[in-house]
Amino acid sequence: MKRGAVFIDDNDDGSEARLLFYVEDSVQDGVILPNGGKRIISKHIHFVEIKEDGSAASAGYAPYLDYRAAEAEELAAVRTFLDKQAWLQRNVEEIAVGYAISEVIPAHVKEVRERKTKLIDKTAKAVKERLTAEIQYWDFRAGELKTKESAGRGNPKLNSDMAQRRADELQSRMQKRLAELETEKSISAMPPVIVGGAIIIPRGLLSRLMGRPDPFAVDAVARREIELAAMRAVMDIETSLGYMPRDVSAAKVGYDIESTVHSPKYAVDGASSLRFIEVKGRIKGADTVTVTKNEILTAFNKPEDYILALVQVEFPDSTVDAALYTVHYLKRPFRERPDFAATSVNYDIDELVRSSEGVVFSS
């Protein structure tokens, strides 16, 4: 990826190529290492996509799972296309770095600072309590031994000077340790590094470059209307159940909606304060639904909180606003993880519904 790779997005029927950058950012504290550098305490990797207009956005946690490598014949056509794309020669890496600095790194630094500060404060409190108790003990012993020595009853194995020296050493040790902990609180970000990059070619564009018809292109607008209707339906359902849904589809995190609540009126298979919903809109009567590898893996990673919302949409009078829908909320919808080489999987809708736990909503 450092030299630049070409990936095909078979789940995108669009016609706009985009750049994918793999960005690594690190967070350091104030501890100085033997080599003179500061200690790195956290590293994150991020994927940033850039379009021809220069806009940048997060590509999610693992977008590459939904892409495939271009075949030799496809690569030849893509290379010819890329040679004509002047925007690829601009400061695209600077755009990716700028996006990371403004949108990604601050959240990372905040998360690390809050977590580390809490831990450091807890450690400092424990250090103070333990060492202060020891210091007080040896101060008391020094005074006690001093009194006995004045009365001619000294201890040859432990005298007052030794006890006082021990108290002073503990005092110095405590101050040194507290200073070290304070240094660890000096948390800052290092400049992000571009580790690799790739050009993403959507299926729609690839079909045009290869001079072959795209069977999905004609229905692209209709599918978009179905997707929007499905999202609205699920958002309305979540709101009616007492949840607070948030559309996160643009973040490409493996699901479309994050829904939170404290006391839901109803919850699928038990109440949950946070659940993750992947919305799949299909026209009524469709037999199959396509789910990306990233979405399937997310379902396995969050089995208790993940819901696949299958929305069958019908437009009785051909208008979006009058759409009717049947929504299946499915828990644990997938039996097996996708094959390593797969970027998406087609499922039979009826079989998914039969083999999954869930409930049905309709309008």
Q: For the residues of 82-118, what is the DSSP string, one character each?
A: HTT-GGGGSSHHHHHHHHIIIIIHHHHHHHHHHHHHH
**Under 8 Å between Cβ of 17 and 201:** yes
Which residues of the chain have a pLDDT value below 70?
A: 1-4, 213-220, 262-272, 316-322, 363
Contacts with 178 (C-beta within 8 Å, 6 or more apart), sequence order: 124, 127, 128
Q: Which H/E stretch holds residue 245? A: strand 244-247
Q: For the stretch 151-180, what's the b/e string if a residue is b when 16 or more beta carbons lie within 10 angstroms of its beta carbon?
A: eeeeeeeebbeebbebbeebbeebeeeeee
Q: What is the pLDDT of residue 234?
A: 93
Single out the residue of 46, 82, 80 nearest to residue 64, CA to CA. 46
Single out the residue of 179, 61, 42, 43 nearest to residue 115, CA to CA. 42
Q: What are phi and psi of 97, to 5 degrees?
A: -65, -40
Options 1.10.10, 3.40.50, 2.20.28, 3.40.1350; which CATH number does 220-362 get? 3.40.1350
Q: What is the pLDDT of residue 340?
A: 82
How far apart are the C-alpha atoms of 338 and 291, rounded to whole Å?
Answer: 10
Q: What is the pLDDT of residue 3?
A: 59
Q: What is the pLDDT of residue 322?
A: 61
Structure tokens at 351: 């079989």
Helix axes 105-150, 160-184, angle to 10 degrees: 170
pLDDT digits (tens, 9 = 90+) for 107-116: 999 999 999 9
Q: What is the pLDDT of residue 280?
A: 94
Q: What is the pLDDT of residue 279?
A: 95
Q: What is the pLDDT of residue 215?
A: 53
**Under 8 Å between Cβ of 296 and 277:** no
Q: What is the pLDDT of residue 231?
A: 92
277 has which bridge partners? 257, 307
Q: What is the pLDDT of residue 213?
A: 66
Q: What is the pLDDT of residue 278?
A: 95
Q: Is the dihedral of CA 284, 285, 286, 291 positive or negative?
A: positive
Question: DSSP character for 23?
Answer: E
**Under 8 Å between Cβ of 204 and 297:** no
**Under 8 Å between Cβ of 219 and 31:** no
Which amino acid would we find at residue 238? E
346 has which bridge partners? 290
